[in-house]
Amino acid sequence: MRLNNTRMIVVSLLLLVAISFGDPRLYNYQTVQLAWRVTLTPASANLLVWSAVEGLPTNSALLAVAMVSEAEVWVVGRVGAKGRAYRLHLVQSHWQVARQDVFDAPIQAVSALSTNDVWAAGASGRMMHWDGRHWQDVAQPLANVNFLAIQMLNSNEGWASGDAGPRSDAIPNPTKKTIMLHYKDGQWQHDRTFYGKGAGTLSFVGDEGWAGSVREYEHLWHYHAGKWAQAQECVLETRCEGRVVAIHTFGPDDTWALTLGATRRRLLISHYQDGVWFNVYLPKNVPLPKINLCYCYDYASCYYPTGYSMVFSDPQHGFASGWGLPLLAFKDGQWSVVEGLDSLLAISMADKDHAIGVSYGRLVSYGYGQQLRPDQPAASLRDVGTVDLSGAGEAGPGGWYYWTAGLPFPQTGHAVISGFRKHWTDAGGKARFGVPLTEAMDENEYITQYFERTGFAYYSRCKDKDRQCLTLLPLGKEIATAHETEGPFKPAPAKMGLCCYFASTQHNLAAEFIAVWQDDGLNGYGAPVSEPFFEQRIGGNTVLVQYFEKAKLEYHPELPAAEQVELGALGHEVLQQRGWLP
């Protein structure tokens, strides 16, 4: 990319004097090699704690969670009658909301295969797929299904269960037949071999699966040899009156179940091995939730429990939780109570040392140390630009709001969204900003998109009469914060031979970048956040660079004069630092 600088801006007398101290090309800049890629620190004892994560609405009911990786997670639920889906990314060891989508019905189940392959389901028959760009409705054969669980085995096969009743918010209607759907050959199909009632949990590995039912006598179902059958043996010592509220299977001969006993009012865990269920008794002081787990014929007065989870990363590490229950941890063959943490509705594990749990207005993480209140998505979004984005968005087919793709780039699989396309094109396009590296995201009331050399942000609540609503993302500040202890980013005094000094950031502006910087100034690239320095590149070459609040400038003296200053790959560097790119 080359910046078109065909003219030299006339600078103030102060700048001329500053430049006159000597040839800036001869200034003794420091040579530095920075490690931009940041990998996750191996879990240590001080990281293996549960910690609250802030940033989600406190009035939200977070009903399900799916970890894509150690650094990406999807959380679904509702706020009032509206459904919500939140995508969170790990940014400098802290979880931050990268995207929020709003739907017209509660979302109660989610299953993630990869960053670009996520499924979600909920009330009113809502079945949706995330392809890395947008949520899209997916047809399923039955109307008005209240989906409670979904598990995708791969891109071509998956299962979803719920009931045909009108009730929602993860409360099954026991008077209605449970619906079991099987995704195969590119479409959802009704599996009629399942005829239980009130199923709220399921777990599959390959062709083997289990489903738990909250209604008496029909509490456990087994999928084998291509069809469902009711399990012949009662799980645990509940005299077939318990509710199997969570289940996890590793295969034909290794399955765990969490059961709430009705008559004995006990929490029980059992392990299925070699065709037999074994009881695993917990300490007697583990309380049951204070609900009516009656053996009931009057469905209107009886509570049918949901909001329970049992998840494992491997046969030796797992968690079990539920509404009104303390968190239970499984390690090396033993279950124990995690003190001070209860009522988690769902948990997902990336591995034995990383997990996320959700509940009503609460999200907690495990394995990431103490989580502090996040500042804005990356740094403060203050300044605005001058582009009219009114009418750039449009309503999606499912009733939620998103920004449409305007200019696709197959090489990255992303498109410049319609709201940014005009400014991106008019201000230099691919040559200046590079190709898009992400889709549009919702970050703390800003619609954002990241490019190779920068990032755009649009204030979604902008009411400025002149529509001055667009800004560059402060990605340079994010880099500077991450490297604040390294030489070029430490505060510096005013220096002879450099252009001018910015007391606000305590850095000097290199004379090589004066003309380009003045084209955009403080409202464009912002103040410098580093000293100029030679950056070591692969192959041993060095390039003079300087970081600004919203840009990185590079100096290439071997090129024609009008092309010697160009934007560096700041967007790519930031996404690598966050762990979003390899």
Considering the domain architecture, whether residues 388 and 507 belong to the same structural domain is answered as yes
Considering the domain architecture, whether residues 476 and 533 belong to the same structural domain is answered as yes
Considering the domain architecture, whether residues 32 and 135 belong to the same structural domain is answered as no
- The tens-digit pLDDT sequence of the chain (582 residues) is 444 443 333 333 333 333 333 333 334 565 554 543 322 333 344 578 899 888 787 778 899 999 999 999 999 998 888 889 999 988 878 888 888 888 888 999 999 999 999 999 998 899 999 998 889 999 999 888 889 899 999 999 999 998 875 444 444 444 457 789 999 999 999 998 887 665 678 999 999 999 886 554 446 888 988 998 887 555 544 444 567 889 999 988 899 988 776 544 567 788 888 888 877 766 565 655 544 444 333 333 344 446 889 999 999 999 999 877 889 999 988 888 888 888 899 999 999 999 999 998 889 999 998 875 434 333 222 222 222 222 333 333 222 233 454 678 878 878 888 778 888 888 888 888 999 998 777 676 678 889 999 999 887 666 654 445 788 999 999 999 999 999 999 999 988 666 688 888 999 998 888 888 877 654 588 899 999 999 987 767 889 999 999 999 999 999 888 889 999 999 999 988 887 777
Considering the domain architecture, whether residues 29 and 98 belong to the same structural domain is answered as no
322 falls within a domain: no
330 falls within a domain: no
Considering the domain architecture, whether residues 23 and 64 belong to the same structural domain is answered as no
pLDDT for res 385: 25
382 falls within a domain: yes
CA distance 211 to 231: 10
Considering the domain architecture, whether residues 25 and 72 belong to the same structural domain is answered as no
474 falls within a domain: yes
Considering the domain architecture, whether residues 32 and 142 belong to the same structural domain is answered as no
Cβ–Cβ < 8 Å for 529, 547: yes
CATH number for position 94: 2.130.10.10
Helix axes 570-578, 475-482, angle to 10 degrees: 50
pLDDT for res 9: 34
Total-model pTM:
0.59
124 falls within a domain: yes
Among the candidates 144, 161, 192, a domain finishes at 192
Cβ–Cβ < 8 Å for 132, 113: no
CA distance 296 to 300: 9
Among the candidates 141, 173, 192, a domain finishes at 192
Among the candidates 160, 192, 224, a domain finishes at 192
128 falls within a domain: yes
pLDDT for res 354: 95
Strands (E), 300-445: 308-314, 317-322, 326-331, 334-342, 346-351, 354-359, 362-366, 394-395, 401-402, 405-409, 414-417, 441-443
Judging by beta carbons within 10 Å of its beta carbon (0-12, 13-18, 19+), is residue 41 exposed, middle or buried?
Answer: exposed
Provide the 3-class DSSP secondary structure of residue 301. Answer: helix
What is the number of structural domains in the chain? 2
How far are the Cα atoms of 332, 374, 414, 444, 547 from residue 98, in angstroms, in the given order?
Answer: 35, 12, 16, 8, 24
Cβ–Cβ < 8 Å for 228, 247: no
Cβ–Cβ < 8 Å for 505, 51: no
20 falls within a domain: yes
Considering the domain architecture, whether residues 442 and 540 belong to the same structural domain is answered as yes
Considering the domain architecture, whether residues 25 and 166 belong to the same structural domain is answered as no
In eight-state DSSP terms, residue 488 is: G
510 falls within a domain: yes
For 506, the domain range is 13-36+378-578
